Amino acid sequence: MGGLEKPLVHLRGQPLVDHVVAIARPQVASLALNAKPEAASLYRDTSARDLPVLVETFGGEAGPLGGVLAGLEWAAANGASWLATFPADTPFLPHDLVARLLAAAAAEMPAVAVTGDRVQALCALWPVSARTRLAEGVAAGRYRSLWWTLEEFGASHCPFDDEAAFFNVNTKEDLASAGRMLAAP
C-alpha cells in the first residue's frame, strides 16, 4: 500500500478501520485497537479515535499472535470471558460474525471463521483463559503461525458461505475492487 498504515487507507472516503469498527462495535461489549506503537497516534482522525490502543509486548516479533495476546490481556483486565478478533483491512465482515463464532465455540476453546477450505484466522473468538498458554508458547517460539496455533488449540471451525465478506485489502488493486464492491447494489 505504498508504505501507508493499511487500516488508515481510505475506502470510499473513510479509513478501512472505520468500516471494520462500524461492523464490529454492535457485536461486542467493548472494542480496542491493536497497533504498532509508532502508529497508535495516527488513529486519532478515525472512528477508532476513542478506542484503547493495545500494543503487543513482544516488540512486533510475534506478529498477529502478539496482537491476540495483547487483546486477551486487555479482555482479562476488563473482566471479559472471550475476545473476538477482526482484521482492520476486511471492510465487509458479517454482521453476525461474533454470534456465530460464539455458537460454534466449545468451552475454553477458540472458534475461527472458515470459508470453503480457507481458515480466516484473524476472524476468531478466543477464550480469555487461553492467554497464559498462548503467552508461554509465543515466548518459547512454539507458536509462530496464527493458523497453526488455532489448530493446536483445537479451534472449532465456523463455516461461512460468503467469501466476499472476508475480502482482504492488501494492494491498491484490492482497494479499487473493494470500492466497486461497496458501490454495487
- Other C-beta atoms closer than 10 Å to the C-beta of 140 total 8
How, if at all, do strands 156-160 and 111-115 pair?
A: parallel
Q: What was the pLDDT predicted at 31? A: 93
Confirm if 179 and 11 have CB atoms less than 8 A apart.
Answer: yes
DSSP character for 51?
S
- d(CA 74, CA 91) in angstroms, rounded, equals 24
* 159 band by pLDDT with thresholds 50, 70 and 90: very high
- d(CA 60, CA 50) in angstroms, rounded, equals 23
Q: What would the grid cell of residue 54 be?
A: 493495545
Residues 52/58/63/68 CA torsion (nearest 10 deg): -50
Q: Residues 6 or more apart from 78 whose CB is under 8 A from it?
A: 30
* 130 band by pLDDT with thresholds 50, 70 and 90: very high
- With 0.75 as the threshold, say if the pTM is over it: yes
* 6 band by pLDDT with thresholds 50, 70 and 90: confident
User: Which has more pLDDT, 3 or 33?
Assistant: 33
Q: What is the pLDDT of residues 56-84, one digit of tens each?
A: 776 667 788 989 999 999 999 999 999 99
Residue 100 has pLDDT above 90, yes or no: yes
Domains with residue ranges and CATH for the chain? 6-183 (3.90.550.10)
Question: In the predicted model, what is the mean pLDDT of the chain?
Answer: 90
- d(CA 83, CA 18) in angstroms, rounded, equals 20
Name the 3-class secondary structure at 119: strand
Angle formed at CA 146 by CA 118 and CA 156, multiple of 5 degrees? 60
Q: What was the pLDDT predicted at 1? A: 65
